[in-house]
Every structure is written in structure tokens, then in C-alpha cells.
Amino acid sequence: MRSKRSQTACLKQFMVAGGLMLFLSMMIGGASFAKDPSVVPADKNAEGWIALFNGTDTSGWEMFGDATEWTVKEGILENVGTGGGWLGTVATFGDFDLIVEWQVSKGGNSGIFFRAGTEDVPWVDGFESQIDEDDTHNPTGSIYNHLAAKKVPSPDEQWNTTEIHAEGPSIVVKVNGQEVVNGQDESFTHGRIGLQMHDNNSTVRFRKVWIRPLGLKSLYNGKDFTGWKVRISKDRKVEIKVEDGAIRIQGGPGYVESQEDYGDFHARFRIKTLPKDNSSSNSGIFIRGPRFPGDDYVGWPEGLEAQVFNQNGDFITGGWYHFMKASGVYAQDEEWFWMDINAVENRYQSWVNGMPAATWVDPENRFIKGIIGLQAHDPKSVIFYSGAELVELAPHKKLN
């Protein structure tokens, strides 16, 4: 074991060497010192941005077509299959802002699909923002065969950025910061996000794939329980009240349920849990659960629960309780965090602090529509909910 003095000297040498290496990388490489582009910083997550690609694997995506092989190395997603195909999100989105960083081989072709379906190829059954600098009719950024783009530089074998704003029929596309498309198209309103493998001769890489769903409306006014009903067991110690703009839940069992029922939607919650007895407070967000008669707590609604429990265990924050575990611990007690939930048809996905947490496809399609509930789990748990927003979605279909 080294002495403390030896350890300190080594640390100083490492810091000096590290500082020199950082300076050189800034001078030479530019982007080489940037943070992991798959991770959404806290300030961007607070604005509503979440990551679709986690930088590690293809969780949250499904493969379609012949190109069934993709690899992730050093935070970069790359096609390694043969033929043509695409990766599509399990989640469905309607209106959104999207940022994608991509790199294509020389003379290569790819695309970014949105509002896409799976019944036909996604550039027919959805929109495609083209990636092909050599295409004279649909240059990079074009909404393929819908809206042609103004041609701007997007060099092959270099990292480029496509930004898409889709709100109602309005579609705006920027390539490397320059607006190339600003038009209207009503053909599709909802669908998946997709990344294309075009052909055997095109190698395409993706790293930053962020989305910000638009149109969310607040479910909670920050003052009282307008739009909600409190259900508690009268013989248990449960206190649910508004405190400093947040819903404070202490004790259990019980829950706060929405007075409206919701089926397909994207929702977002701001949450804080307090520690208890060397553990974390326990809660959950119920979705698509039944509405019991009366006002009292008579049991948990038999829908689906997105777990709130910031502790290593079988089901932690973001996991779909009893069905799918979360991929990691992305939130800490005593710190506000965000949870996003996407539910369309039988497909479910959650994010915690912008990171994909758990994806589950229900083979039995058991849950269709129901309440949203904020759980009071047990006598020692204390949880705060200070934000609840939601936008209703719909399954994909072609309108025109």
C-alpha cells in the first residue's frame, strides 16, 4: 500500500498530465473532450429532453427489415448487418423536437424516420429526413418525397447534426444549424422514430438521439387537488396534502387518482423521495388502472405501475412493477428528479432523469385506459410530486 504522501504526489502528477491531455485534445480534436452525447444534462432534461439511445445498447428499440445487426461501441451505434432495414423506437411520439448526431460513410445513404409505422417501409408509412449529400432531388434534410431541402454541407465521414421540429402539420428541419426545410404536411401525426440502414455499401453511425415531446399540459395546479381525488384508508396513518407547491405523501396505503382516464399518452412527473431506515421511500405511478366506486382506499388499482424506489433491488425507479426491471439507478433520495412515461397500445417505456429506464411490450395487451395514480405505499415513506404533465397520443395511421 502506498503512503498518503506517495498517493498525493501521484495524484498531482495525474492531474498535471490529465490537464495537458485535455488541453491537447481541445486544441486538436474539438469534440473529443465533450461529455457522453447520449446523456441528457440536467438543465436540458428539465426542459423536457430525454434520450432515445442510451449509449450502451439498443434497449427501447425494435429491429425491422433485413438489417438485424447493430452494434454499440464507445457510445456509438453502428449498423453491421447486411441488406436494408431500420431501428424503430418502441415508443410513439406525436409533436416533438428531435436532435440526432450522425456520420455516414463516403457516398453513403441513410435517414431518420419519424411518425413512422411498421406496416410498410417507413419512408412510405411515415416521414424520412434524408441523409445523402449526393442526392440531387432529396438532399440531406429533405422529407423524402414530401418536402425537398435546401442543400447545405453535410460532409461524409464527419459528424453532422439533424434537428427536426414537428408540430401538427408544420415540419422544420435544420442540418448543422442551418434551416433546410420549413413546410407543411398532414400525412402522418403519430408514430415511431427510426434510424435507417440503407444498403450494404453504406455504414452509418449515430450517437446523440434526443427528443423533447411537445404539447404536454399540466395535470396539477400546484395549489390544491383540483382534478384529483385522494383515496386513503381511514384506519391507517396516511397524510396527503399540498406543501410548498408539491403534493406531499406520507404514510400508506393510499393514493391520489386523476379524475380523468387516459389511454395512449406521454406523461412527465417531477418527484422527490426521502430516505427511511437505511432504505428509500417507496411509491409508484399507476397508469391505466380501474376506478373504484366510493372515496376510500380499497386496494391498489389493477393497472400498471412505474416504480418509484431509489434503491438497488428487484424493481427500482422507472421499472414496470412485476413486469420489467429498470436498467439502472438514475435518481437519488432528497434530490428532485424527472420521470417520463410513454404508453401507446401495448407498448410502455419509462425514463428517469432523461435516461431510458425500462421498456416493456405487453403480449396480452391487458391495460387499455384508466386513472393515473400517485401511490402512498407504507407508513414510513415520504414522497413529493411537484409536477405532472401529459399529452394524449394516438396509434400510427396515415391520414392522406
| 16-43 residue pLDDT tens | 333 433 333 333 333 333 478 889 999 9
What's the structural domain count of the chain? Answer: 2
Residue where the block lists cell 403534493: 247
Calpha distance 180→152 (Å, rounded): 8
350 falls within a domain: yes
Q: Do 335 and 349 form a contact (C-beta atoms < 8 A)? A: no
Q: At which residue does the C-alpha cell 424493481 appear?
A: 315
CATH number at residue 230: 2.60.120.560
Please report whether residue 112 resides in a domain: yes
Q: Is 156 left (phi over 0), alpha (psi -120 to 50) or beta?
A: beta
Per the structure, the complete domain to which residue 183 belongs is given by: 36-213
What is the rounded distance in angstroms from the CA atom of residue 84 to the CA atom of residue 102?
A: 18
Spans of the chain below 70 pLDDT: 1-34, 67-68, 81, 400
* Alpha-carbon span 238 to 14, nearest angstrom: 53
Residues 312 and 373 in one domain: yes
Amino acid identity, position 72: V
In terms of domains, do 310 and 176 share one? no
End-to-end CA distance of the chain: 72
Is residue 301 domain-shared with residue 190, that is, in the same domain? Answer: no
0.95 exceeded by pTM: no
* pLDDT tens readout for residues 93-140: 999 999 999 999 898 889 999 999 988 788 889 999 999 988 989 999
